[in-house]
């Protein structure tokens, strides 16, 4: 049995990572997670292998007619594509788990016997086309320096 860090295991691992990275392919494997066998992908990332679990075929459900029926125009698609190109990159450090924070506040309020806050009122829907156009303008202004 090979131990982690064993030099004899390093070479095959490095070879697999590099071969997957060069070819742009992924590895398909089976793993046991919580006493259940799962199908998974192995992807190369920063010299390591990243495991991404998938669903088995029988776990997938037919979505039926859940697809949105609202048609989109070519202009909307063009604006969405421009926005996606302009707003690249995510600062992961700035993302927060808002659900976890709200849950902690709820538990704290219950434990202390305080008043529970009412859930916020739903926000009305916005005009997607106007929001896309404004976002594109703001992204372009930001890229142009201000």
Task: Output the pLDDT for position 67.
Answer: 79
3-state class (DSSP) for residue 94: helix
Domain boundaries, the chain: 7-59, 72-88+126-146
Q: Phi and psi at residue 29, in whole multiples of 5°?
A: -145, 175
pTM of the model: 0.46
Task: Output the pLDDT for position 8.
Answer: 79
- CA dihedral sign of residues 17, 23, 25, 29: negative
Per-residue pLDDT of the chain (146 residues; tens, 9 = 90+): 456 667 777 888 889 999 999 999 999 999 998 889 999 999 999 999 999 999 998 898 888 888 778 888 999 899 888 888 877 777 778 888 888 888 888 888 889 987 777 777 888 887 878 888 888 888 888 877 76
Helices 74-86, 128-143: crossing angle, 10 deg rounding: 40
């Amino acid at each position: 049995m090979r131990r982690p860090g064993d030099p004899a295991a390093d070479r095959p691992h490095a070879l697999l990572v590099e071969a997957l990275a060069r070819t742009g392919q992924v590895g398909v494997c089976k793993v046991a997670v919580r006493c259940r066998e799962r199908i998974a992908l192995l992807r190369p990332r920063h010299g390591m292998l990243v495991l991404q679990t998938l669903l088995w075929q029988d776990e997938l459900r037919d979505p039926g007619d859940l697809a949105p029926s609202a048609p989109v125009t070519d202009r909307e698609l063009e604006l969405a594509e421009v926005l996606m190109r302009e707003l690249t990159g995510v600062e992961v450090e700035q993302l927060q788990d808002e659900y976890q924070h709200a849950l902690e506040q709820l538990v704290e309020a219950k434990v202390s016997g305080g008043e529970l806050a009412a859930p916020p009122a739903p926000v009305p829907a916005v005009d997607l086309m106007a929001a896309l156009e404004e976002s594109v303008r703001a992204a372009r202004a930001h890229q142009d320096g201000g």
